[in-house]
Structure 1
Amino acid sequence: MTDRPIRIGVQLQPQHASYTDIRRACARLEEMGVDILFNWDHFFPLYGDADGAHFECWTMLGAWAEATERAEIGALVTCNSYRNPQLLADMARTVDHISARDGGTGRLVLGIGSGWFERDYDEYGYEFGTAGDRLDDLRRDLPLIKDRWARLNPAPTRRIPVLIGGGGERKTLRIVAEHADIWHGFGRPESIAHKHAVLDEWCAKVGRDPADIERSAGVSPKPGRLPEDVADYAGGAEALHEVGTRLFTVGLDGPRYDPGPIRDLVAWRDARQG
């Protein structure tokens, strides 16, 4: 696998905070040198007070496009079920242009997945269906998104990278091999290594170079630490780096969005790359 530079991502979870808190955290993290700023595409908090404060994903990404200068931005991840794929392509293209500076290229990453949080569907009137159906819809819609990008005027400022999240070996990783530029997963390093091997096999089957796909994972804020609870973080950055991960993402909850632990990862990145 062709080596890639180490990158640090932060998911600013848009829950339990004011938008002022979120915007302030964006500015602080970009100044610290974070490479990508993510939010998520849900309508209600995923933990803590289930009816606590929460904000919508894509409206926020448009604001981030104006409020930031250097970091890439995106959702980790957009739920494919909520929007017509043609509309989503246009939304992404528009945020891409908003995020461009001084005639340069945009900074949007289209993070996308099939969706899983049933309350979002029930309360907003979307059909939940089955996990298999939602994955089939994602596979159907990704070519439509790319086709719409090719027909929009003006076109996107660059070939917008597609990030797909999820680790299902029979369907999800096949879709990643077919359509993604970045794969994002969670798990211990040995689990991530296994997923990489399965993804490589799918790439061989569909005629894709595995080196074309950047490997991303959730990670502990402490580069060498393996937390007891691995539901949120995959473990130490060094161990993940050894198995091929190059984009390391930490989730921060509001309202504090404590940037302190991110400094460890940014310093690790800079020291690791010399």
Structure 2
Amino acid sequence: MLLDTPVRLGVQLHPQHVTYPQIRDAVLRLEDMGVDILFNWDHFFPLSGDPEGLHFEGWTMLAAWAEQTERVEFGALVNCNSYRNPDLQADMARTIDHISAKGDGPGRFIFGTGSGWFERDYEEYGYEFGTVGSRLDDLAAGLKRIEKRWDVLNPEPTRDIPILIGGAGEQKTLRLVARHADIWHSFVRPDGLAHKLDVIERWAEKEERDTSDLVVSNELQRRGVETADALYDGGTRLFTLGFDGPDYDFGIVQGWLDWRDAKNGG
């Protein structure tokens, strides 16, 4: 795992119960505040509150963010592999990567992905729900196709698009992390991190892949500084904050930005 990288803060704007102008304004403000990464999620209905409330689709939103922003990295936390053909996902990611490149710089898109879990999405949009195991097998096959497609697209991506994989299952998910991921995201508590990282390392040996530069990511929402400090001590360097509207509390974000800067010696 990568310990010499600066701490970064990502904010996940939940695309539910808000209008799109509110999301657009929040994106501008968060980038101006100095947030490192902006995330949304890949669902079709709210995950909390009124299940019939306002909600927006994630990938089209990310394309808008690519054009709107100048500095911040961005992506889904996380894409659902089940909802789109893997080769199409690769092409969409490459296109958004190019949209986000400003001047001579590279793109800023992060390909966060997972196997899916929200059954209502599947049922109402006509996707086969399957089982946890079958969805993870589909993700494994999909990631191979995505990486292969990136190699043949014209134009190619502006950079090696970072892959973020979410989840903590030890038999399949963490093996995919060892095989493919640049960033591993989970909600694992501080006292469980060392074990999970050991599992990743053991899978990496079998995969014959060096994971010494793997960035460990974890969640801050409903957690305090004590937990964040413990996650940091355990090797976490990307911290994400779930952020609910419409009454966005930007003071919470500023507090975590101050904590980030203190960890980075600022």
User: Same fold by TM-score, threshold 0.5 exceeded?
Assistant: yes
Deviations 1:45-100, CA, capped at 9 Å, x for gaps: 00000010000000000000011110101000000000001111000000000000
**1:271 correspondence with 2:262:** yes
Which residue of the other structure, out of 229, 235, 252, is the alignment partner of 1:261? 252
Going from structure 1 to structure 2, the CA distance change for 1:50 and 1:213 (only over 3 Å counts) comes to same
Q: Secondary structure at the match of 1:269?
A: helix
Q: Which secondary structure state, in structure 2, belongs to the residue aligned with residue 120 of structure 1?
A: helix
2:67, 2:115 → 1: CA distance?
28
1:131-150 matches, within 5 Å, as 131-150=132-151
In 2, Cα distance between equivalents of 1:105 and 1:2:
22
SS of residue matched to 1:9: strand
Q: Secondary structure at the match of 2:28?
A: helix
Aligned runs of 1:184-223 on 2, under 5 Å?
184-220=185-221
RMSD over aligned CA atoms reads 1.2
Q: How does 1:10-159 map to 2 (within 5 A)?
A: 10-159=11-160
Query: Structure 1: which 5+ runs fail to align?
Result: 226-235
Distance, in Å, in 1 between the alignment partners of 2:76 and 2:21 is: 19
Aligned pairs, how many?
264
Match of 1:231 in 2: none
Offset at residue 206 of structure 1 (A): 1.4
Q: Distance in 2 between matches of 1:212 and 1:156?
A: 21
| Distance in 2 between residues matched to 1:49 and 1:221, nearest whole Å | 20
Partner Cα distance (2:202, 2:255) in 1: 34
Paired residue for 1:246?
237
Partner secondary structure for residue 37 of structure 1: strand
| Counterpart contact for 1:42–1:56, Cα < 8 Å | yes
Question: Cα–Cα, structure 1 residues 179 and 218, in superposed 2: closer, same or farther, change >3 Å?
Answer: same
Instruction: State the shift of 1:221 in Å.
Output: 6.8
Q: 1:192 Cα shift?
A: 2.6
User: Are the aligned partners of 2:168 and 2:188 in contact in 1 as well (CA < 8 Å)?
Assistant: no
CA contact (8 A) 1:221 1:261 kept: no
Q: What secondary structure does 1:246 align onto? A: strand
Call closer, same or farther: CA 1:268–1:85 in 2, change over 3 Å: same
Q: What residue identity is the alignment partner of 2:253?
A: I
**Residues 8, 36 of structure 1: 8 Å contact kept:** yes
Alpha carbons 2:216, 2:235 under 8 Å: kept: yes
Deviation at 1:196, TM superposition (A): 1.6
Kept after mapping to 2: 8 A contact 1:223/1:265: no
Q: Look up the match of 1:229.
A: none
Deviations 1:19-45 (A, max 9, x none): 011111111111111110000000000
One-letter amino acid matched to 2:170: E
**In structure 2, C-alpha distance between the alignment counterparts of 1:269 and 1:7, rounded to whole Å:** 7
Gaps of 5+ in 2: none
1:90–1:149: 8 Å Cα contact kept in structure 2? yes
TM-score norm. by structure 2 comes to 0.96
- 1:38–1:76: 8 Å Cα contact kept in structure 2? yes
Give 1:219 deviation, angstroms: 1.5
